[in-house]
Structure 1
Amino acid sequence: MILTVQFDRFKEKLFFLTFILLVMFMSVGCDNLEDRTKYLTGSDVIIWQDNSSFHIKDNEDMTGRINLSQGQLSITVWGFPPKSTINIGTETGIVNAEGYASIETMVDEFYGVISTKNLNSPKLDDLFFYIKTQKEEDIKVKLPATSVYGIDKYLAQIVNGPILFEGEEPKESSIQSIYCHLGISSNSIFGNAPTLKDIDAIAVLEQKRSTINRVCDGYVDKAGKNNTLIIFLNEITIKVFNRRTGKLITSKRFESFDDCPSSYFAMNSNDNKRDSSIPKKEISRWLNSLRK
């Protein structure tokens, strides 16, 4: 009986001690989150672990992650001081009592900063988000360069309306630079446009398969069988739109005059049909003449 009573008292003391420690831990945890404002100072406060994850220099429990998927950029932070904010463009996220916040925004708004030097492998660079606390100044954070896919398809949406970047409004402008996608790995800029935001007009290529074709014969395969090549002389139209208003500026139709090649590559005997090539030189010459 004596042992039982003593053991019960020990359990009560242990439970009480555990409760006190838990309360103290929770209190300290809350205080720590609020006190973490002191770590958010200086331009070099962010340490990037890779192209998507980071932590705060003086506190590795304060972490963050960026994610780019299907044109949507998300930024998430953990362990940050409550009521601090993260901001990108027009989107703002407020850190909750648990130190968590997340924001999402479509990145096409920021495509304007993409360099036109290599549009076949473009990267979204010079993009920033901001961290702000109630006590310290804003911290400007540069995001790592991120690959962007489908620039040609994105710009081709000009047929549906203007393509505007951050801070832009629809307005008429002179045409000093024109973008045109002339086929695989053939993104061309006519004029001076260091970034997408500097492009004044977008030329869209429309190709319609023609009923007129050219029949080329006289070919012999490795087996000694005679083959014929059919070239469809497609109808090609170039439409030029003002990027900032979406208005059609002009259009022109180009004829195809493909000659029969001396040889051609085919996977099998039925692979004997080809679309006519795009007259890139003629199109380029015309687009250059439109610049004012």
Structure 2
Amino acid sequence: MKRLGAILAAAIVGLTGAAVVAPAANAAIYSSGVFSIPYSGDLYNVNASSGEIRKLTFAEWQSLGSPAPRPAPTEFKKYAWSPTIYAVTFFGDQRSEWVWAKVTYDQWQRAGFPAPSTAGWIEGTYFYKWATSPELFAIAPDGVYKKLTASEWAQAQVGTFNNRSNEGFFKYSWDNTIIRMTNIAGGSGYGINYNQWAAEAFPTPQVVGRVPGDTVYQNYRDPNIWYAGPAFNRILTAAEWRAMGSPAPQVRTPNRPTDSRNCDSFGGSWRAAQDTFEYWFPLYGDVYGLDGNRDGIACNALRG
């Protein structure tokens, strides 16, 4: 089985250019004993029978009789798209039996500056997919984001990814704003700039005319049509409104006023009194009592 695994690993390297992380053919990794990590000097005790792999304190090492440690089989890896070097120490042929660490410069120097090979998978990498595109992404343990190619995903050999089914990125068909949706079903999100989009590794946004939870509206007695969504709240041009399908705007009406006014409240201006009367009358009637004789004319005494 180990020979077959080595053949398959070599085949994938030839096809993709990245090495599959796998333990070298070394019988020591399947045996019991105390092992030393080359880049740190940490000691591990391995029990091949029980499968226990345990990092030792100095006192624990002494309690075992201070045995001379054997060098633990260790390889140095990095992603082609990230500068960070990692070390992986093999205490068995299962991933659960490998010890990974992000290597500092001093640790790399201690190990003799070994040239890292390119890995398809490094422990601690987060693989995921947004709801708004079929693309797959990875976040390396050092925080570097990467949009994966089909080849890079095949190299990872993890099989599964986190499906972020209620998150993603939209772009309006009538506006260039890219929207990071944090809750698609709930209509929550925010507009992002180019640098923020780049930081996410340029996920392809889904082009839409509308997004869940948005509103097209008009304010009472205002001819302008407004759009309120997760990215902005602004007046639409006629072309933008048509591009989103010419939706009927919701009319937003003001609440009934609660202040007190009379004909003396308008500084002697009949026009101001009449405008106030005409604004409120269709909604709530003569709320200020400006039309005493109910002829549709406010504050007749101000007309002169």
Higher strand share: 1
| Higher RCO, Cα 8 Å, sep 6+ | 1
TM-score normalised to structure 1 length: 0.25
TM-score if structure 2 supplies the norm length? Answer: 0.24
